[in-house]
Structure 1
Amino acid sequence: MFRIVSLFVLLMVGMSSFAQQKVTFSGVVRDAGSGETLIGALVALEKTELATSTNNYGFYSLSTQPGTYRAIVSYVGYESKVVELALTASKRMDIELRAVDNLLDEVVVSAKKRDGNVTNAQMGAMNFTMEEVKNIPVVFGEKDLLKTIQLLPGVQSGGEGSSNFYVRGGGGDQNLILLDEATVYNASHLMGFFSTFNSDAIKDVQLYKGGIPAHFGGRVSSVLDIAMLDGNKKKFTAEGGVGLIASRLKVEGPLVKDKSSFMLSGRRTYADMFLKLSKDPDVNKSKLYFYDLNAKVNYKFDEKNTLYLSGYFGKDDLGYSDLFSFDWGNATATVRWNHILNDRLFSNTTFIYSDFAYNVMVNSDNSDFKIASKIRNWNVKQDFSFYSSPTSTLRFGVQGLQQSIHPARIKAGEGSTVNDLDVGSRQGVEVAGYVSHEWKPSDRLSMIYGLRATDFMVMGPGSFYEFDGDGEPISEQYYGSKIVKHYFQLEPRFSASFLLNKKSSIKASFNRMAQNLHQLTNTTSSLPTDQYVVSSLNIKPQIANQVALGYFRNFKNNDYEFSVEAYYKAMDNQIDFKNGADLQANKFFEGDLLFGIGRAYGAEWYLRKNTGRFTGWISYTLSKSERKFDGINDGNWFRARQDRVHDISVVGIYELSKKWTLGATFVFNTGNAVTFPSGKYEMDGKTMFYYTERNGYRMPNYHRLDLSATYEPNKENKRFKSSWSFGVYNAYNRKNAYIIDFRENESNKNITEAYRVALFGAIPSVTWNFKF
């Protein structure tokens, strides 16, 4: 390790010495109307090949030989700006871009650089903003970024109306979801029908499916990196919306003009208010709602130092009278300090807290008890970006994370037949370091390569168990507050692009990922009661190795984009359960777990139209996802629950006039793999079902059409704007199967029949949105 650090320091010194022969043009790019930093804005020197993009905090740095230049700064949806430069020495310049009024709506997913999908070395990544998703029809009419990413190639929905998603054959728990760098554990409201992310509070979203950068770690399938709005530094504004099921409001403005600002956004459903109208006393006292709150404050001390404080809190509360209640929620807090050490070296220091908890209360006859569960995360990060030249950027940093999980604590009421139980908490500490180099050695070749090293330490205090082949505990060992076991991993990352010509390229990527947090679930929808565990003596870190190869091509001056990517992912230390496993409130649950391997492979086609009155895309994914466990299916490969052969999404947005915009979405996918009974038998007068192959059957194919229309009567009014959004989810009333169950035929008990439970038919929606 000492030799690696020494070599790294020598490399930095060498780059600095070389860079001293040049001058540097650097600064921050912001929105002229609000002062928001712009992520991915393009800064290019005219008549040269020199160009760069702003980072996640709006910072750019471009080095060149001394001379006179014209810099062109551009960003999708904004007027380009030309800056005259006489560079005799390094120069700092912050740049503001003005949004284009009445701009035709762009397609939902848009690269910041028109040909970036061809030229960028990054592979398997997509970026979009909330403004770009406003015309996509979704259930209940609420803008929802998690429902939007499910329309992208390689991303599958978790089921009807669910915000849970799967990426390239991985599990739902294998996606790292970050909100201002804080982990969000359960990203669902109302059992998945809404996501936890209020779109009004979101600035930018980046999804990584492959070629994942080295500064991300902790999950083996994907990273969804979400940035909240900083707040308007120029003026006070407010916007919101009133819908059939939920309303929302956002306010933002300067605390000190051009120096400090705030953003506060809230949302709440009000189905519970209608319950109060019931004359039934049990219904009248019932609860059915969720709310969430996003807040952010920032302060710019000087040209080199900015402090950000942001947080999120959301809660769901369901209950029936005094007999049952169930609440769950996430909380996050992020303190971030951006510091520009010099014109080439950028620093970001972050302190993060996040947690997720749920509580269940049952008060029925002699079964009076409460269940509580909690997961907590403390995280500190130090990241650096070194812009050594326009063709070379070095990123490096360290991270420390403390994870604490209390799976379940049962507290029984007086006289209850339920016993008290406390499943002991588990602790884990992870330290990581990474280095990544983005390099363009020639006009045609670009690459990003790096290495991440992690050491996960299983921590006491607590009792650890050893199990026999039947899953029965045979020994117990108590450890105090010390390290019980180390899991050390090296995670190389690589992504490269080779230009065939100005319009097309070939890309390749490889990444190895490790995951020490595991979610135990046996459904395709992520439920709040799903249990989380950290790696232990019995549970090893999940490992995934993914390779991908793709062809990218643009047409008609970048108006059309086409890509096809093929991938193969091998997964080790996957987790499943024995038949009849009891995972809830069971301190010996590790004995009911099985460990095996997985594989996922497929191809993704993507065709998109970027400009004009009609925009949209078509995506098609052909894929396979399988698992192999010694204790399941006789040790043979079987389908994963999220395995789907075909997945198609068609999205279209048409600007009918200056006031009307129409949207439509059609989706089709093969049904999820599922385990159905293969036979039945009778025992003690009861009919029992007999199961053979795990996930050997499929749900029926799924398809639906969603329609939307947005009317903006006062689009020209710059002080007050409003719009009406109308939509129909599942327009042709397709009864897609949510559950397939089995029952005896009423007229002949020897016949077992399957019946379908559909969750949604056609659902109309209307929302009034306003902004001033």
Structure 2
Amino acid sequence: MIRFIVVAACLLCSMQAFAQDVVLSGVLRDANTGETLIGAVVSTENNVHATSTNAYGFFSLSLPSGIHKIQLSYVGYETKVEELNLQSSRRLNAELKPLDNLLDEVVVSAKKKDGNVRDAQMGAFNMTMEEIKNVPVLFGEKDLLKTIQLLPGVQSGGEGTSNFYVRGGGSDQNLILLDEATVYNASHLLGFFSTFNSDAIKDVQLYKGGIPSQFGGRISSVLDIAMMDGNQKRFSTEGGIGLIASRLKIEAPIVKDKSSFMISGRRTYADMFLKLSNDQDVNQSKLYFYDLNAKLNFKLNDKNTLYLSGYFGKDDLGYSDLFSFDWGNATATVRWNHIFNDKLFSNTSLIYSDFTYNVQVSSDDTDFSIASKILNWNLKQDFSYYANTNSTIRFGLNVLRQSIQPASLNASRSSNVNSITVDTRQGIDLAAYVSHEWKPLDRLSVIYGLRVNDFMVMGPGTFYDFDADGENTGETFYGTRVAKHYFNLEPRFSASFLLNDQSSIKASYNRIAQNLHQLTNTTSSLPTDQYVVSSLNIKPQIANQGAVGYFRNFMDNGYEFSMEAYYKYMQNQIDFRNGADLQANRLLEGELLFGIGRAYGLEWYFRKNVGKLNGWISYTLAKSERKFDEIDNGNWFSARQDRTHDLSVVGMYELSKSWTLGATFIFNTGNAVTFPSGKYEVDGRSMFYYTERNGYRMPNYHRLDLSATYEPRKANKRFNSSWTFGVYNAYNRRNAYIIDFRDSETTPNATEAYQVALFGIIPSVTWNFKF
């Protein structure tokens, strides 16, 4: 690792030969709130020299000395022009004013109008909460996880769920970060709401391919979410009251223009309706979730800023005192931004993250609890070196300590079940990376880099050996030391070549290793799904993904079109033996099977950014398969999340100054599923016989959602409010959530299939306010 960093430093120093004599750097902020602006464009008037702000609002632009007109621009803000006589390097901290009469462009977009064509990065989407506020979703709540499911290459995990799949990968192969902290099982109420309160979110970046070198640990995608910093100008409040949930956000300066705070909370009150029941058991039941986001930031001086942010969320379900089930995430991040000089920017982060769930069952002869916990501490050091306008180098180190307490069963003495304790598993993930964003030619832009990863399987604990049939053949105890190293090199590459000012072709390749594995046998990720780290038996998952694409803009960037093809090959994929026992099992690794996977497809994306009608159409034609020696005689079979067709149509229309209409139509091929091929009888009881894995399909899924947002004319400049009316599943399509089989009650020896639909038509209304 030390040699790696030395090489990176030498590369950094060598780039100084290309640097210009004058450097303009600074931070761009919102003039009304003081929020840093991510991805704002800083350019000379003729666009010969241009750059954009990073995730903390910082920019660095190398220029020849002389007089320049500097243009500062950001989507939804007034463009600002500064005329500067630059004879030496200097700092420019500026604020941009939001456009008062702007129609919110409810589209997913990059900040630069033609960034989708010119940038080397591919397979990436950026969005803000303002841009998705009119997209219809379940129960009328703005939901970024459900919105990204409308993008090409991203699939929903099922009806109403926040779970998602990217380019044929599993749900555990998506890295979800909230202010750099990992979030596990990012859903409330078993997936009907996402973990993220949109009021507290500033910016979202999704990477499906060409994943930058600074990210690692998941082989399918990265969802990087940034929380709002807090209003540095004045006190403000924002919230909403819906049919089953309400939310409130408060932000204000601590010292004006120097420090601020933001705190946002949300809670459902479905449990309050249970209190109306005359049934005492129902009356004492629980059904709610809450979450809390908080952030503080302190501008110590022009070169140092400190951020403190945290999240806590919990779900609590229970029936009387017979059963209870709760789960939740907690994260905390301390970040220090330091500007060494006009070219070198540093971010140092200490990050805490955990996920826990608890199940309690109590009856006359059964009294036990099941508990599981994931805990990690992460220390990151990231540097950005802006050598010149055409060259930026990023490098850093990352040390992650991962600890997993698998599900263990704790039974009372009077219970008819026995207690089971499973060893806690630990690992240390050490990584270093370097990447170079370079524009060697006017038409050619490239990003290339390397991530080096060493995962250390740690004791103390007992590690078990298994034969080919999964039978335990021995065990070894390791103390507090390294039991095994897994070392991986992860090259990354992405390039864009301009065919002309409106179109380009792009290509990318990335190799990524993953050492955290989720064990699930459903398409919907559940809080009780088990997690394991790489061990003596479980090797890191590895993915190699290549992609090529064509990108084209029309009519002054008012319309965008892209087409991407990808192929992903995955090693060390995990499945289960038939009848596997996943809960509270110290020999769990013997239940696992290991194989390979592949996913490939074509993605089309077309969107309109201008006019009263805007929105997008996305379509994915794809295949996702797995291969295990022990399943289907070693033949390829469809993964559970395999879908041939996936179509989303999203439209928003400005009917008037007060009314905005929204509609979303979704169609996709049903998930692959295993159905019985026959049945037999044992002791008078019917038993089903299964043959081909995932050889059948659920029915095709389609749905139409509608919304209407009414925002009355402002009578008070400080107070704004709006009403959002929505209809989920407008034509009441009874989409299959579960299909199961049973003996027919009317026809002897016959078997019948029955379908369970989760949702019909669901209306919603939400009142939103801000002052």
TM-score computed with the length of structure 2 as normaliser: 0.99
Alpha-carbon separation, structure 2, partners of 1:433 and 1:10:
15
Unpaired runs of at least 5, structure 2:
none
1:135 aligns with 2:134: yes
User: Which residue in 1 is equivalent to 2:16?
Assistant: 16
User: Which residue in 2 is equivalent to 1:425?
Assistant: 424
Counterparts of 1:534-549 in structure 2, within 5 Å, are 534-549=533-548
User: Which residue in 2 is equivalent to 1:565?
Assistant: 564
Alpha-carbon separation, structure 2, partners of 1:66 and 1:14:
22
User: Which residue in 1 is equivalent to 2:606?
Assistant: 607
Alpha-carbon separation, structure 1, partners of 2:342 and 2:312:
37
**1:23-75 CA deviation, whole Å, 9 max, x = no partner?**
10000000000000000000001135110000000000001111100000100
* Displacement of 1:276: 1.3
Counterparts of 1:136-535 in structure 2, within 5 Å, are 136-535=135-534
Contact 2:106–2:134 (CA<8 Å) still a contact in 1? Answer: no
* Displacement of 1:6: 4.3
Contact 1:136–1:708 (CA<8 Å) still a contact in 2? Answer: yes
Alpha-carbon separation, structure 2, partners of 1:18 and 1:9:
16
Give the SS at the match of 2:117: helix
User: Which residue in 1 is equivalent to 2:642?
Assistant: 643
Alpha-carbon separation, structure 2, partners of 1:212 and 1:342:
28
**1:367-403 CA deviation, whole Å, 9 max, x = no partner?**
1101110000100000000000000000000000000
Alpha-carbon separation, structure 1, partners of 2:432 and 2:250:
38
Unpaired runs of at least 5, structure 1:
none
One-letter amino acid matched to 1:729: Y
Alpha-carbon separation, structure 1, partners of 2:509 and 2:760:
42
One-letter amino acid matched to 2:620: T
Alpha-carbon separation, structure 1, partners of 2:630 and 2:714:
62
Counterparts of 1:588-627 in structure 2, within 5 Å, are 588-627=587-626
Contact 1:659–1:715 (CA<8 Å) still a contact in 2? Answer: no
Contact 1:104–1:612 (CA<8 Å) still a contact in 2? Answer: no
Give the SS at the match of 1:423: coil
Contact 2:106–2:133 (CA<8 Å) still a contact in 1? Answer: no
One-letter amino acid matched to 1:16: Q
Instruction: Label 1:623 to 1:27 Cα distance change in 2 as closer, same or farther (>3 A).
Output: same
**1:570-597 CA deviation, whole Å, 9 max, x = no partner?**
0000000011000111000100100000
* Displacement of 1:281: 1.1
User: Which residue in 2 is equivalent to 1:102?
Assistant: 101
Contact 2:4–2:432 (CA<8 Å) still a contact in 1? Answer: no
Give the SS at the match of 1:421: coil
* Displacement of 1:284: 1.0
Contact 2:8–2:395 (CA<8 Å) still a contact in 1? Answer: no
Contact 2:457–2:483 (CA<8 Å) still a contact in 1? Answer: yes
**1:543-602 CA deviation, whole Å, 9 max, x = no partner?**
000000000000011000000000000000000001100011100010010000000000
Contact 1:107–1:611 (CA<8 Å) still a contact in 2? Answer: no
Alpha-carbon separation, structure 1, partners of 2:748 and 2:101:
66
Contact 2:5–2:432 (CA<8 Å) still a contact in 1? Answer: no
What is the percent sequence identity of the aligned residues? 76
Alpha-carbon separation, structure 2, partners of 1:14 and 1:149:
40
User: Which residue in 2 is equivalent to 1:752?
Assistant: 751
Give the SS at the match of 2:694: coil
Alpha-carbon separation, structure 1, partners of 2:26 and 2:180:
23
* Displacement of 1:716: 6.4
* Displacement of 1:326: 0.1
* Displacement of 1:749: 2.5
Alpha-carbon separation, structure 2, partners of 1:128 and 1:705:
23
Alpha-carbon separation, structure 1, partners of 2:768 and 2:530:
38
Contact 2:347–2:383 (CA<8 Å) still a contact in 1? Answer: yes
* Displacement of 1:455: 0.1
Instruction: Label 1:5 to 1:311 Cα distance change in 2 as closer, same or farther (>3 A).
Output: closer
* Displacement of 1:684: 1.1
Alpha-carbon separation, structure 2, partners of 1:5 and 1:157:
40
One-letter amino acid matched to 1:387: Y
Alpha-carbon separation, structure 2, partners of 1:569 and 1:324:
43
* Displacement of 1:170: 0.1
Contact 1:714–1:722 (CA<8 Å) still a contact in 2? Answer: no
Contact 1:107–1:609 (CA<8 Å) still a contact in 2? Answer: no
Contact 2:290–2:313 (CA<8 Å) still a contact in 1? Answer: yes
Give the SS at the match of 1:422: coil
**1:291-335 CA deviation, whole Å, 9 max, x = no partner?**
000000000000000000000000000000000000000000000
Q: Which moved more, 1:9-18 or 1:424-433?
A: 9-18
Contact 1:354–1:377 (CA<8 Å) still a contact in 2? Answer: yes
One-letter amino acid matched to 1:156: Q
TM-score computed with the length of structure 1 as normaliser: 0.99
Give the SS at the match of 2:172: helix
Give the SS at the match of 1:694: coil
Alpha-carbon separation, structure 1, partners of 2:580 and 2:11:
54
Give the SS at the match of 1:219: coil
One-letter amino acid matched to 2:77: Y
User: Which residue in 2 is equivalent to 1:700?
Assistant: 699
User: Which residue in 1 is equivalent to 2:44?
Assistant: 45
Aligned residues: 771
**1:164-200 CA deviation, whole Å, 9 max, x = no partner?**
0000000000000000000001101000000000000
One-letter amino acid matched to 1:381: K
Contact 2:51–2:60 (CA<8 Å) still a contact in 1? Answer: yes
User: Which residue in 2 is equivalent to 1:33?
Assistant: 32
User: Which residue in 1 is equivalent to 2:676?
Assistant: 677
Alpha-carbon separation, structure 2, partners of 1:599 and 1:491:
18
* Displacement of 1:11: 2.7
One-letter amino acid matched to 2:735: N
Contact 2:106–2:135 (CA<8 Å) still a contact in 1? Answer: no
Alpha-carbon separation, structure 1, partners of 2:116 and 2:317:
44
Alpha-carbon separation, structure 1, partners of 2:146 and 2:631:
33
* Displacement of 1:2: 6.3
* Displacement of 1:349: 0.1
Alpha-carbon separation, structure 1, partners of 2:236 and 2:32:
11
Contact 2:366–2:416 (CA<8 Å) still a contact in 1? Answer: yes
Alpha-carbon separation, structure 2, partners of 1:607 and 1:433:
37
Alpha-carbon separation, structure 2, partners of 1:332 and 1:593:
30
Q: Which moved more, 1:28-37 or 1:747-756?
A: 747-756
Contact 2:384–2:394 (CA<8 Å) still a contact in 1? Answer: yes
Alpha-carbon separation, structure 1, partners of 2:746 and 2:381:
69
* Displacement of 1:748: 1.3
Alpha-carbon separation, structure 1, partners of 2:332 and 2:655:
43
Give the SS at the match of 2:146: helix
